[in-house]
């Protein structure tokens, strides 16, 4: 078990190294000179050269990359071109906002999708099933930003139940955080819920047709036991993966939603960094997202081994 | 059928399954019964309705199926019972062994848990007692080191071991009836023989009635007391195994017996019955076997359904042209 985790962590490290290389090279292809953008109207050739050499941008590319990776290993992701603050601090201070939004959205999605998906599978072909299908079709086809805008108009504008945008830290004011997180989390969560509803429904339907479910019925077990112990235990194993992938992608920040709701998360940071050609911050944000993705995947693999005895952690 | 000893009897059982292309008559009026300690074999090709008639009788037919007829389990008319009471009869009074032990066990539960859970529900055992019971059952079906195997998952057992575990599962509440739906079809030949032997042995010891569904006439011959041959959703011949196998009266039964590969004969080609069974969507008006029949009498066979009539004591057949009981040209 420990060996498995260590090996996976090592693999994750290699993947992260690859991510830095790809991001580094991609940024070289992006048009625009970050130093020029940083200087703006205060441009003069001397300051320009000085800034370039301070940022190491006058060095050859392999040298730039090697020094970046070397510093990254010590936790130093460079300094922001725009604010001059350390990137590590900038990225990490955005993490709580993104984490709290992503987790709230996934919890909301599960609360909706689990009963909807399971019940529509158990009563497939019923009115309930059709209604659930319309809901999930709606959720996957309507753009989230449109739903977000409608949510703001209705709940913040007309009804005035929730603030239209902004962020309050959970640790400072839980009630304020809850009222601010509600609209963005529901907006993001509805999309996730639609995807999960469909997936859970088809997974449960598939297991219902399994021979061992008939065996369980042949034993005369009460329906509740058949459904919970035999159907759901099996049907939810693949659902774990889908939930994890959804969570991981939300951890990358939902850029449109974060911008729409003025939510100071990683997505918003990425957006601003692109606008300002703030390469160090952009690299740092992407690196963080990649690391979170790998972490979630590792946790899923460990969870899988616990849920499915056929899988051995070696 | 009101015999004290009768465990399960079905009368005029029909199963109609609604499909997109219309109603399919999977079972078209079937009567059979099985008594304590006795083995009834239901024989037929795939789609002949043999499994469906048993599943329908015990309330395991698919949801799309409409079941009519009189089903009595231990003298109780199942139609008068609530769905919950009917469910409680399963597992407690009827145990099931299905075809494929690879798929009929839940992959994420230990075999011990799966064997014990019916005894928790029906006999009120605690989880601990159910586990002890599961070990006993594993020993009964001849699984070595049962105390360790009880915590094994299905994928850790071989096919034969799994089928033994499934049999242990079916018998855990000492049911009056064991339904074995092609339990050896998915196993290799050596294991098949062991499973047949095991069921026969357990039946002798426990006095359980057995309904054995099979298309393997060789297995049936060595195991069953009575046999019912099904074709196109109906019983075409019924009687004691000795009578039916020695003197098959229906052309279909005779053809089935002739199609058995004979290990002594030096033949290069297997004997087959030409044609395919009728679709349950469009069962013919007359004899369902008529299009494939070698006797193929007059147009009466095509238009009129032959009744099930006795040819000898305890031997009935559904044909206008029963083969003469000379025993020749077998």
Cβ-defined contact of A234 to B107 (cutoff 8 Å): yes
Specify whether B55 is located in the same domain as B179. yes
- Rounded to the nearest 5°, which phi and psi values hold at B91? 85, -50
The answer as to whether B87 is a domain residue is yes
B98, B109, B121: residue with CB nearest A222: B121
User: Which residues in chain B have their CB less than 8 angstroms from residue A307's CB?
Assistant: 108
What does the pLDDT average to over B113-119? Answer: 94
In this prediction, residue B227 has a pLDDT band, given cuts at 50, 70 and 90, of very high
Q: What residues of B are in the A interface, CB distance below 8 Å? A: 58, 60, 87-92, 94-96, 98, 100, 103-109, 117-118, 121-122, 153, 155, 166, 169
CA trace torsion A192, A194, A199, A205 (10° rounding):
150
Q: Which residue of B has its CA nearest to A212?
A: B104
C-alpha B277/C-alpha A183 separation (Å) is: 62
Q: Which helix (H) or strand (E) holds B25?
A: strand B22-35
- Among A52-56, A194-198, B68-72, B162-166, the least confident range: A52-56
Asked if residue B214 lies in contact with residue B220, where contact means CB atoms within 8 angstroms, the answer is yes
Q: Is the pLDDT of residue B268 over 90?
A: no
Inside any domain, residue B211: yes
A239-288: per-residue pLDDT in tens? 998 999 889 888 876 888 888 888 888 888 988 888 888 888 888 888 88
**Nearest-by-CA chain A residue for B152:** A309
In a domain, B329, yes or no: no
- If asked whether residues B81 and B44 sit together in one domain, one would say yes
* pLDDT band at A202; cut points 50, 70, 90: very high
Classify residue B109 as left (phi > 0), alpha (psi -120 to 50) or beta.
beta
d(CA A120, nearest CA chain B) in Å: 16
Residue with tokens 């109906």: B234
Task: Give how far A35 is from chain B: nearest CA, Å.
Answer: 59
Q: What is the pLDDT confidence band of residue B327, given thresholds at 50, 70 and 90?
A: very low
Whether residue B300 is predicted with pLDDT greater than 90 in this model: the reply is no
Are B94 and B58 in contact by the 8 Å Cβ rule? The answer is yes
Task: Report pTM.
Answer: 0.81
Average pLDDT over residues A85-106: 89
Q: Does residue A3 register a pLDDT over 90?
A: no
Mutate to test the interface with A, among B56, B93, B106 (most CBs of A within 10 A): B106
Q: In what order do the strands lie in the sheet with B94-97?
A: B94-97, B177-181, B209-214, B39-43, B226-231, B234-240, B315-317, B309-312
Q: What is the mean pLDDT of chain A?
A: 85
Domain of residue B124: give its range: 102-174
CA–CA distance, A122 with B42 (Å, rounded to integer): 32
Out of B143, B174, B205, pick the residue that ends a domain: B174
| pLDDT(A82) > 70 | yes
Last residue of a domain, one of B150, B174, B198: B174
Higher pLDDT, A157 or A112: A112
Residue B1 pLDDT more than 50?
no
Q: Is the same domain home to B28 and B143?
A: no
pLDDT at B105 > cutoff 90? yes
Measured CA distances, B275 to A130, B24, B88, B278, B291 (Å): 43, 20, 43, 9, 8
Q: What's the longest Cα–Cα distance across chain A?
A: 86
What average pLDDT does range B161-183 have in this prediction?
Answer: 91
Which are the contacts of A107, defined by CB distance < 8 A and separation ≥ 6? A189
Of B148, B174, B200, the residue at which a domain comes to its end is B174
Instruction: Choose among A214, A220, A307: nearest Cβ to B92.
Output: A220
Tokens of B242: 């000795």
Q: Which residue of B has its CA nearest to A209?
A: B62
Q: What does each C-alpha distance from A187 to A95, A136, A182, B229, B288 come to in angstroms? A: 20, 13, 8, 62, 61
DSSP notation for B169-196: HHHTT--SEEEEESTTTTS-HHHHHHHH
Q: Residue for token digits 């050269």?
A: A49
SS3 A199: helix
Backbone angles phi, psi at B294, to 5 degrees: -80, -25
Widest pairwise Cα distance in chain B: 66
Kindly report the CATH number that applies to the domain delimited by A96-307: 1.10.3720.10
Could you tell me if B22 and B165 lie in one domain? no
Handedness of CA A205, B105, B87, B178 (dihedral sign): positive
Residues B221 and B294 reside in one and the same domain: yes
Contact B43, B229 (CB under 8 A): yes
Contact B117 A211 (CB under 8 A): no
Q: Label residue A292 exposed, middle or buried (CB < 10 Å: 0-12, 13-18, 19+).
A: buried
Domain membership of residue B16 (yes or no) is: yes
Q: What is the count of structural domains for chain B?
A: 2
The CATH number linked to B231 is: 3.40.50.300
**Cβ–Cβ below 8 Å for A219 and B90:** yes
B3 has pLDDT over 60 = no
Interface contact A211-B109, CB threshold 8 A: no
Quote the pLDDT of residue B267: 66
Contact A287, A16 (CB under 8 A): yes
Of residues A246, A256, A251, A250, the one with CA closest to residue A91: A251
Residue of A nearest to B89 (CA): A220
Asked which of A198-212, B30-44, B314-328 is least confident by mean pLDDT, the reply is: B314-328
Do both B185 and B151 map to the same domain? Answer: no
Tokens of B78: 């199942």
Question: In this complex, do A215 and B96 lie within 8 Å of one another by their Cβ atoms?
Answer: yes
Average pLDDT for B6-20? 89
Q: Is the ipTM of this complex over 0.95?
A: no
pLDDT for residue B330: 39
Which residue spans of chain A are classified as CATH 1.10.3720.10? 96-307
pLDDT of amino acid B324: 67
Q: Which of A20-34, A145-159, A275-289 has the lowest mean pLDDT?
A: A20-34
pLDDT score recorded for residue B63: 80
Q: pLDDT value at position A231? A: 94
Q: Which residues of A touch B152 (CB under 8 A)?
A: none
Element (DSSP H or E) covering residue B6: strand B6-19
Cross-chain residue pair A234–B91, CB shorter than 8 Å: no
Flag if A225 and B117 touch (Cβ within 8 Å).
yes
Q: What average pLDDT score do residues B57-64 get?
A: 84
Q: By the CB < 8 Å criterion, does A221 face chain B?
A: yes
Per-residue model confidence (pLDDT) at position B328 = 45
Span A220-225, mean pLDDT?
91
Mean predicted confidence (pLDDT) in B262-286: 76
> What is the Cα–Cα distance from B1 to B32, expressed in whole angstroms?
9
Q: What is the mean pLDDT of residues A66-77?
A: 82
Helix ranges (DSSP H) in B63-177:
83-92, 111-123, 127-140, 146-149, 159-171
Task: Indicate the helix (H) or strand (E) that contains B16.
Answer: strand B6-19
Q: Say yes or no for a CB contact (<8 Å) between B106 and A234.
A: yes
Nearest to A281 by CA among A93, A141, A126: A93
The three-state secondary structure class of B35 is: strand
Question: Is B119 domain-assigned?
Answer: yes
- Answer yes or no: do B208 and B303 share one domain: yes
Domain-embedded: residue B52: yes
Q: How confident is the model at residue A131 (pLDDT cuts 50, 70, 90)?
A: very high
Of residues B7 and B46, which shows the higher confidence score? Answer: B7
Most confident of the following: A3-12, A250-259, B20-29, B231-240: B231-240
Q: Do B104 and A211 touch (CB under 8 A)?
A: yes
Q: What is the mean pLDDT of chain B?
A: 86
- Residue B326 falls inside a structural domain: no
Question: Does position B294 have pLDDT exceeding 80, yes or no?
Answer: no
Contact between residue B229 and residue B238 where contact means Cβ atoms under 8 Å apart: yes
Residue B324 lies in a domain: no
Is A104:A181 a contact under the CB 8 Å cutoff? Answer: yes
């Amino acid at each position: 078990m420990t060996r498995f985790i260590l090996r996976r962590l090592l693999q994750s490290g290699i993947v992260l190294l690859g991510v830095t290389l790809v991001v580094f090279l991609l940024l070289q292809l992006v048009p625009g000179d970050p130093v020029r953008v940083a200087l703006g109207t205060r441009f003069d050739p001397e300051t320009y050269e000085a800034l370039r050499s301070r940022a190491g941008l006058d060095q050859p590319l392999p040298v730039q990359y090697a020094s970046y990776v070397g510093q990254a290993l010590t936790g130093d992701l460079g300094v922001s071109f725009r604010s001059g603050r350390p990137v590590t601090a900038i990225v990490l201070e955005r993490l709580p906002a993104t984490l709290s939004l992503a987790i709230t959205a996934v919890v909301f999605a599960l609360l909706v999708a689990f009963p909807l998906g399971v019940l529509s599978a158990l009563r497939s072909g019923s009115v309930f099933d059709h209604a659930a299908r319309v809901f999930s079709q709606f959720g996957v086809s309507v753009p989230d930003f449109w739903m977000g805008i409608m949510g703001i108009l209705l709940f913040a504008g007309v009804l005035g139940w929730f603030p239209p945008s902004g962020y309050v830290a959970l640790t400072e004011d839980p009630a304020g955080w809850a009222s601010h997180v509600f609209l963005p989390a529901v907006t993001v969560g509805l999309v996730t819920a639609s995807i999960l509803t469909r997936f859970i429904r088809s997974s449960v339907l598939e297991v219902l047709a399994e021979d061992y479910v008939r065996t369980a019925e042949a034993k005369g077990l009460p329906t509740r036991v058949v459904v919970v112990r035999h159907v759901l235990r099996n049907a939810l194993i693949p659902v774990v993966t889908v939930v994890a992938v959804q969570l991981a992608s939300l951890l990358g920040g939902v850029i449109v939603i974060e911008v729409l709701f003025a939510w100071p998360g990683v997505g918003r940071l990425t957006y601003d960094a692109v606008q300002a050609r703030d390469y160090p911050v952009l690299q740092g944000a992407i690196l963080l997202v990649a690391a979170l993705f790998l972490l979630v995947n590792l946790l899923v693999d460990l969870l899988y081994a616990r849920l499915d005895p056929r899988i051995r952690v070696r | 059928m009101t015999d004290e000893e009768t465990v399960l009897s079905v009368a005029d059982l029909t199963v109609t399954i609604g499909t997109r292309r219309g109603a399919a008559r999977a079972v078209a009026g079937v009567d059979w019964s099985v008594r304590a300690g006795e083995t009834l074999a239901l024989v037929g090709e795939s789609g002949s309705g043999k499994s469906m008639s048993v599943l329908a009788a015990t309330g395991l037919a698919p949801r799309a199926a409409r079941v009519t007829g009189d089903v009595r389990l231990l003298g109780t008319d199942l139609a008068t019972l609530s769905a919950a009471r009917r469910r409680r009869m399963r597992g407690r009074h009827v145990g099931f062994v299905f075809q494929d032990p690879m798929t009929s066990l839940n992959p994420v539960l230990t075999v011990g848990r799966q064997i014990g859970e019916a005894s928790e529900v029906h006999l009120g055992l605690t989880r601990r007692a159910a586990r002890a019971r599961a070990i006993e059952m594993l020993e009964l079906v001849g699984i070595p080191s049962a105390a360790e195997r009880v915590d094994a998952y299905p994928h850790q057992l071989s096919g034969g071991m799994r089928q033994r575990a499934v049999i242990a599962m079916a018998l855990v509440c000492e049911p009056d009836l064991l339904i074995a739906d092609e339990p050896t079809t998915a196993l290799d030949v050596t294991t098949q023989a062991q499973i047949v032997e095991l069921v026969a042995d357990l039946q002798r010891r426990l006095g359980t009635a057995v309904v054995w569904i099979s298309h393997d006439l060789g297995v049936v011959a060595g195991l069953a007391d009575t046999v019912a041959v099904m074709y196109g959703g109906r019983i075409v011949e019924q009687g004691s195994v000795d009578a039916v196998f020695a003197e098959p009266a229906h052309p279909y039964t005779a053809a089935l017996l002739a199609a058995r590969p004979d290990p002594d004969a030096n033949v290069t080609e297997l004997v087959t019955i030409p044609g395919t069974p009728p679709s349950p969507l469009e069962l013919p008006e007359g004899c369902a076997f008529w299009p494939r029949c070698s006797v193929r009498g007059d147009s009466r066979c095509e238009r009129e359904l032959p009744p099930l009539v006795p040819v000898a004591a305890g031997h009935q057949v559904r044909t206008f042209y029963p083969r003469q009981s000379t025993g020749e040209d077998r």
